[in-house]
Structure formats: structure tokens, C-alpha cells
Structure 1
Amino acid sequence: MPDTGTPATAGPEEDVVDLLLAQHAQIEQLFLLVIGSTGDTRREAFDDLVKLLAAHETAEEEVIHPLSRTLPGGGGDAMVDDRLEEERQAKETLQTLIAGGVDADGFDTGIILLRDAVLTHARYEERYEFPRLRQHVPADRLRSLATAVGAAEVTAPTRPHPSAQSAKGNLAVGPALAVIDRVRDAVRKPSAS
């Protein structure tokens, strides 16, 4: 199965909003795959979903949300605080699902609840945050922010960490968590023998 958990990357003319919208679509596809499959296919799709969500949210917390707080028109702090709270709740739910595994009792219900929460969160970003970015941030800066988001995703943890959900928190502990997560991933990955 191809690694659909690798975040979409920006092309040379793509801006950060285009990139994040593509990732939202990718996340939605992975939820459908997890919900509609079983066995190893489900396990792999769930692992891809976890990694994509962790990288995507880390990048938004480091790059997008801090910028959104500073945009003209007011309300940026409240809007970002609401998105961060949604992200924290999703990370906690995701941790619970990871701990139980895809075969655990309650996984089916939990993944559907998580999907609904994550997609609602994405729609709020698409409706409120992204239009403000396009309105107030010059196009060339939006394109350069796509590169910044890509860089943040490369060094992001591969698992949810609700305690590190701000730009400062991610920058302070994110690299260490990313190393721990990547070592853990390597140890858990079956060898090709």
C-alpha cells in the first residue's frame, strides 16, 4: 500500500492554503480507508492517518495559528484558541485509539467520533481562518509559508502530543518528541525478511 500518510507537499506556485486544503482532503480519505477496511490494511491506514495528523497539526501550530493571531480585523486570538482546543481534544482521542489499537472494543465508534471532530475542525479552518489568510497575507508570503509548513512537518513528531500544542511548545519539545517517535516507529516497523 502506498504511504498516503505522507503529507501533501506544495508545488512551486501553490500557497499554504492550497497545501493545507490538499492535506484536509488526504486526511478525509484516510479516515474513509480506516473506517472501511480491516486487518493489516486498516492498521496501515490508521498508522498513516496518525502520522499525517501529527505532522499537519504541528505545522499549523508552529506556522499558521501564530500568524492568524496577528491578522487585522480582530478575533484572531479567540479563533485560534478555539482551533487549539479542538486540536488538543483530537490528540487526546487519538492517543486513546492508539493505545487500544484498531482491534480494540470501541475503536469503530472512537474513529467515527474522531473523524467527525477532525473534519468539523478542518471546516472551521477552511471557513474562518484560511479566508483571513488569503485576505490579509500577500500571495508571495503565502507561497513561502507553504515551504515553512513543509519544513515543520519534516521535523514534526509522528504521534499526537497534546501537551505540545503551541508554537513555543512545539519548538521547545517537538524535536525531542519527533526523535523519540521516529525511533519508536523504526522499532515497531516489521523487517523485510
Structure 2
Amino acid sequence: MGHGGNVIDELMTDHREVEEIFGRIEALPPGAKDRKTYAEQATMELVRHSVAEEAYLYPAVRKHVEGGDALADRELQDHARAEQIMKDLESREPGDAEFDRLIGMLMTEIREHVADEERNLFPRLRASCPAEALDEIGDKVRQAKKTAPTRPHPSAPDKPPANKLLAPGAGLVDRLRDALTGRGRTGD
């Protein structure tokens, strides 16, 4: 979280980090308790990433990319599907067959979303948005991730200005809950 560079570089680094967590999940046998910890870590990163994209990336896509409204709307639909899967996953334990089904769905959904962003959205944004603006959006994304929620909130607003107003408060509550419960921390 908070890597530096323009918005595209920042978000692509996030993508690699989440993929690394997915790899850790896949390397463990079904039912291994660390699968839950890694699923929590993936969720925390994905929620922060999504909130930042919704607040800053997609408005920039709407503004700078031809056909940006439709593109941003499709990305928001992807986020809504993934967020609901993450919410459903929260209450599952790694020994539960439903956990395996949901984590598989989440990994598929996120991998498809990432591939689409990196093949389609990012190149179009890079071609149509000034470099200084990409750097500025990168800074805003890094700041947003610091205060963003870490738990899925499927009914929360996903478009400015409401998402920008509500996310920091939800993020504070989520981080307090995470600290109290040890959510996402490994036993090492």
C-alpha cells in the first residue's frame, strides 16, 4: 500500500500484491486455517484498492477517456460483484466447502477484472490523460487507501461525492475492529 508513481503504476503494484496473496491461498490445502487469514488479507487490500479506484480512478476515466462513462460503470459492476463475494466469504471458515467455492469465485472475478483493467482501461487512460494528472491521481489514490475501509460494505455508495465522504469513517471503524480481532494477521 502506497508505492509511489502515477495512478496506473500504483494500481498495477496493488494487483501484483493481491495475486501474490491468491498464490498463497492456492498453495495451501483446502481446510488449512491460514487460508482464512490470507483471504482476510486479500479482502483488506481489495477493499482499500476498490475504494480508491471508485473515488479517483473512475472519475478520471469518465473525464478523460472516450466512452469513459460506460467503461467506469462496467468496472463498478465488477466491484459490486466482488464486494458481495467478499461479504459472503467473511462468515465462512476454511473447512467449509462454501469457503472454497467463494474464494475460487473471488479469485476468478478479480483476475478477470485485473486483466481487463490492464489490457483495456489503463492503456486508454494513459493515452488520453496528461502525465501530471496521472501522477496527481496516484497521490490521491495513495491517500485514499490510508483511510479506506478494510471490510466489504456492499451497500455503501460507490460514486463521488458520497463515497469520498463516508469511506474515511467506515475505514476508521474497520481498522479498529481489525486491530481488536487480529483480522488478517498470521500467527508468526
Instruction: Please give the TM-score of this superposition, normalised by the length of structure 2.
Output: 0.89
Q: Does the aligned pair in 2 maintain the 1:35–1:111 contact within 8 Å?
A: no
* Distance in 2 separating the partners of 1:84 and 1:40: 31
Amino acid at match of 1:29: E
State the match for 2:9 in structure 1. 18
Q: Does the aligned pair in 1 maintain the 2:148–2:171 contact within 8 Å?
A: yes
* Distance in 1 separating the partners of 2:59 and 2:95: 38
Indicate the SS of the match to 2:152: coil
State the match for 1:139 in structure 2. 131
State the match for 1:94 in structure 2. 86
State the match for 1:160 in structure 2. 152
Structure 2 unaligned segments of length 5 or more: list them. none
Cα displacement string for residues 33-84 of structure 1 (whole angstroms, at most 9, x for unaligned residues): 12222545323322211110010000000010011011242x1111111110
Q: Matches of residues 25-104 of structure 1 in structure 2 within 5 Å?
A: 25-37=16-28, 39-73=32-66, 75-104=67-96
Greater shift, 33-42 or 83-92, is seen at 33-42
* Distance in 2 separating the partners of 1:102 and 1:60: 29
How many percent identity over aligned positions?
A: 31
Higher relative contact order (CA 8 A, sep 6+): 2
Amino acid at match of 1:88: A
* Distance in 1 separating the partners of 2:150 and 2:159: 16
Indicate the SS of the match to 1:116: helix
- Tell me how far 1:163 sits from its aligned partner: 2.0
Instruction: Please give the TM-score of this superposition, normalised by the length of structure 1.
Output: 0.86
Structure 1 unaligned segments of length 5 or more: list them. 1-6
Greater shift, 151-160 or 15-24, is seen at 15-24
* Distance in 2 separating the partners of 1:156 and 1:103: 30
Amino acid at match of 1:16: V
- Tell me how far 1:101 sits from its aligned partner: 3.0
Q: Does the aligned pair in 1 maintain the 2:33–2:94 contact within 8 Å?
A: no
CA RMSD of aligned residues (A): 2.0
Cα displacement string for residues 94-130 of structure 1 (whole angstroms, at most 9, x for unaligned residues): 1001111333222112111111111111111112211
The number of equivalent residue pairs is 182
Residue 150 (1) aligns with residue 142 (2): yes
Q: Does the aligned pair in 2 maintain the 1:8–1:22 contact within 8 Å?
A: no
- Tell me how far 1:18 sits from its aligned partner: 1.1
